[in-house]
Structure 1
Amino acid sequence: MAGEAETPTSYIQHHLQNLVYSEDGGVRGSTATDGFWSINLDTILTSVTMGLIVTFLFWIATRKATAGVPGKWQAFVEILLEFVDRQARDTYHGSSKLVTPIAITLFFWILLMNMLKFIPADFFAVPLGWLGVNYWKPVPTADVNATLGLSISVFFLMLFFALRSKGLGGFTKEFLTAPFGKWMMPFNLILNIVEWVSKPISLAMRLFGNMFGGEIVFLLIWVLGGAGLLGLLGGTVFGLGWMIFHILVIPLQAFIFMMLSIVYLSLAEDAH
């Protein structure tokens, strides 16, 4: 983009490109022709960083935890954890003790990744540009690879819960005979494959669609803010309104992903 006049379209397209380690060993902006083995470095580095931050924040709360009157941060973390634990217990009807840790991990990790949307893209792009990094998509959940990675993990957990509850024989029998009986085995097989595959896909696309769409609107607002004084005032008003709206959207999307994951884990154990 050096030497070219940047237009609103090119500005938005530039900020929607990932920093990719391509199959040929080069590091560049993402394109539609990226191969399967290309790696979105910004998504991986940012998501891992957010996971470490979540772990660190919880570690701070537990490091000075007291059985008596808790400190402010400990009390806040306990309220959040009790909220997630209550939702998990009310939704999941099995006996596994893994569900609450899974719910906590999903909710708080996705929440922190989503919250990066509150930071304007240029706050990342400009300093990184000084270091020679010209592409960086700051919100991992605006990358379908990240949301698919999360949902595929939930899919394998569903398989684990189903096999642990029913055994391989029981799971196979149910997969082939439910819901229409053994004489409709081909139709049962097709229906169950569609059901199992659609769950992780819908999980991933719902989160990705909301975060990616919101990212585009934010970028449009930043572009509007650069169009003179009137544009700056309009961008400020619209940006504030959209940010207030996302104060609800960002935790809601993390909550929906968490709750649907628990529902799917519970259904995986239920007999049809």
Structure 2
Amino acid sequence: MKAFVIAEHSDAAAQLAAGARTVADEVAVAVINAEVPAGIADAAYHVAVPEGAIADDAYGAIATVLDADVVIAEPTRHVKSVVGRLAAAKGAAVITDCLSIADGAAVSMYFGGVGQITRKAKGTAFYTVAPSVFGDAAASGSNGAAEELAWVAPANAAKLVASEPVVKSGVDLTKADVVVACGRGFVGKTGLNTELIGVAEQIAAKTNGGVGCSRPLAEGVEGSDFDSYIGVSGLQLTPKVYICAGISGQMQHMVGCNRSGVIIAINKDKNAPIFKQCDLGVVGSVEDVLPALAAAL
């Protein structure tokens, strides 16, 4: 069986190639723009996006070398666009947000993460998978320098008019052992409680962790500068410890953290759904509990 990995980050390419090795005998990897690590696959390709083009149109170049039974893609916006077009060209569909792949079947979420379903693909199998799904699997392969693929512009190519890089702050939450997640409990009558956010950052710093948030805090609160949120349409994390502070525990958020080693919940509402899903729960306001936790560390 042959597997083909598509990614736009070097570390994700290595992790997904390691996972691909568990389901296929031959593994090839294609990385868009970023460097391709050596020794992770049997064949490796690099796609450089020309000036004025967008990464979504890299599917034309990748299509020239795509020969696989299984395609495993990093779930970024650009790669999702690429893999969707590649699947459509083969008359196939993409199974997204896979939690596991085994024996030709993939387990994924549906209804916003409320449930899970197991499906088998028809023809070439296309999956989007978070790199963390494959855990500690080790990449292996004989690839050295990646082969540079010639850019193949589509008939109706998108034209990049302007772009502005997003400045990332803090640590990479996908690699953090400890994550402090901030929710609506960090919002007061006057808006975002930046002082309390600072306490969460202190806890993260003392535990070599990082600070994230729920979707309402990232998208609906003025002054919030979180890079990304945790949940079904955001990051899906697997830290050793997840501190869920001021978050009610709705399923849309929990699917982003329910594979954590230990979930610690802090909420002033004793009936909040989070208390049925955590390993350790503290009933109290984040204004009282977080500073005490920071002082104790």
Q: Of Structure 1 and Structure 2, which has the larger fraction of its residues in helix?
A: 1
Structure 2 length-normalised TM: 0.26
Structure 1 length-normalised TM: 0.28
Q: Of Structure 1 and Structure 2, which has the larger fraction of its residues in strand?
A: 2
Query: Which of 1 and 2 has greater Rg?
Result: 1
Asked which structure has the greater RCO (Cα within 8 Å, sep 6+), the reply is: 1
